[in-house]
A and B are shown apart, each in its own frame.
Chain A
Amino acid sequence: MEAIKTLDLCKEYPDTVAVKRLNLEIFEGELFALLGVNGAGKTTTIKMLTCLTRPSGGDAFVCGYSILRDAEKIKALIDVSMQETAIARNLTVAENIRFYAQLNGQSREEIDKTTAYLFDAFELGKVKDKRAASLSGGWQRKLSIALALVTHPKVLFLDEPTLGLDVIARREIWKTIRDLRKNMTIVLTTHYMEEVEALADRLGIMKDGELLFVGSREELYRKSGKESVEDAFIHVVGGGDLDA
Chain B
Amino acid sequence: MRDSIKRIRTLAGRNVKEILRDPLSLIFMMGLPLFMEVLFFFIFHKLTAQFEIRYLAPGIAVFAQAFTTLFAGLLIALDRGTSFLTRLYVSKARSYEFIFGYTLSLLPVALVQSALFFLVGGLLDPSFWSVRFLWGILLCGVTSLLFIGLGILFGAMCSEKSVGGVSSAVIAGQSILSGMWFPTEGLGDGFLTALRVLPFKNATMLIQNAVNGYGDFVADMLCPLLIVLAYTAAAFALAIVVFQNKMKRA
Contacts and interface: CB of A to CB of B under 8 A. Distances in A.
Nearest to B18: A90
A234 interface: no
Contacts of A65: none
Nearest to A90: B21
Interface string B217-228: 000000000000
Contacts of A81: 87
B46 interface: no
A183 interface: no
Contact of B82 (A78, A86, A102): A86
Contact of B90 (A80, A83, A84): A80
Interface residues of A, number: 34
Nearest to A52: B250
- Tell me whether chain A's interface is mostly helix, strand or loop, or mixed: loop
A95 B17 contact: yes
A100 B249 CA distance: 22
A103 B11 contact: yes
B14 A88 contact: yes
Contact of A103 (B18, B21, B82, B92): B92
B189 interface: no
Contacts of B250: 47, 52-53
A147 B87 CA distance: 9
Most buried by A among B11, B81, B92, B93: B92
A90 B83 CA distance: 15
Interface string B50-90: 00000000000000000000000000001001111011111
A75 B18 contact: no
A135 to B, nearest CB: 14
Interface in B204-250: 248-250
A88 to B, nearest CB: 6
A83 B83 contact: yes
Contacts of A148: 87
Nearest to B3: A105
A89 to B, nearest CB: 7
B18 A82 contact: no
A104 interface: yes
A147 B86 CA distance: 13
A103 B17 contact: no
A103 B7 contact: yes
Contacts of B10: 99, 102-103
A99 B14 contact: yes
A169 interface: no
Contact of A50 (B21, B82, B90, B93): B90
Contacts of A104: 91-92
Given A95-B17, A131-B21, A75 B84 contact: no
B14 A91 contact: yes
A222 B247 CA distance: 43
B22 interface: yes
Contact of A85 (B22, B82, B88): B82
A235 interface: no
Nearest to B11: A103
B6 interface: yes
Nearest to B93: A103
A103 B88 contact: yes
A88 B90 contact: no
Interface in A59-102: 72, 75-76, 78-91, 95, 99-100, 102
Nearest to B88: A103
B82 A84 contact: yes
Contacts of B81: 84
A78 B13 CA distance: 25
B86 A52 contact: yes
A53 B90 CA distance: 11
B94 to A, nearest CB: 10
A54 interface: yes
A11 B21 CA distance: 41
A84 B14 contact: no
Interface of B: 3, 6-7, 10-11, 13-14, 17-18, 21-22, 78, 81-84, 86-93, 248-250
Interface of A: 47, 50-54, 72, 75-76, 78-91, 95, 99-100, 102-105, 131, 147-148, 151
16 contacts: A47-B250, A50-B90, A52-B250, A79-B90, A82-B83, A84-B81, A86-B86, A88-B18, A90-B22, A95-B14, A95-B17, A100-B87, A102-B10, A103-B93, A131-B21, A147-B87
